[in-house]
Structure 1
Amino acid sequence: MAKPNKKLPERVVKVVCTGCGAKLFKYHKNGKGALVKCFKERVAVNYCENACHCPSCHQMFAREQIIRGAAAYKIIGGKAKID
């Protein structure tokens, strides 16, 4: 499997918690599809103190995984959305 493209996409989106609406991070997203996984190297600003947990309601929104040889957050369905 190929690794994700090193060149960061220009489109930056805000990822928020669906439960409380708190900012989780800003992410360089490629494409127009749903948010399924977020590669750590593409995270521009991280607002979370604990990895994969919302800073406000402390709900777990993702799991840390290795995808295509790179570290990533695998988003749990319905826990985070693009704002």
Structure 2
Amino acid sequence: MAKPNKKLPTRTVDIFCRRCKGQLFKYHKGGKGSLVKCFKERIAVDYTTELGVCPHCQQVFGRDTLVRGTPALKMIGTKVTMK
């Protein structure tokens, strides 16, 4: 399978916890679809202390995984929102 593009998309989105509305990170997102996975190399600013866990309410919002051979966070259902 193809790896994600090395050139980062120019558009950044803010990712928030759905429960407490705390900001989790800024992410270089490509495409128009919903947020299913976040490649770690595309995270611009990380506000979390532990990867995949909200620093404010301690809710687990993502799982550490490999997608197309690249480290990524697989988002859990509707636990995050983006603006």
Render the CA deviation track for 1:21-58: whole Å, top value 9, x for unaligned: 00000000000100000000000000000110001001
Percent of matched pairs sharing the same residue: 55
Query: TM (normalized to structure 1)?
Result: 0.99
Query: TM (normalized to structure 2)?
Result: 0.99
Report the aligned-residue RMSD: 0.4
2:77 is equivalent to residue 77 of structure 1: yes
Contiguous gaps of at least 5 residues in structure 1: none
2:7 is equivalent to residue 33 of structure 1: no
Name the counterpart of 1:7.
7
**How many aligned residue pairs are there?**
83
Give SS of 1:33's match. coil
Q: Which amino acid aligns with 1:2?
A: A
Contiguous gaps of at least 5 residues in structure 2: none
Q: Which runs of 4+ in 1 moved over 3 A?
A: none
- How far apart are the structure 1 equivalents of 2:24 and 2:14? 8
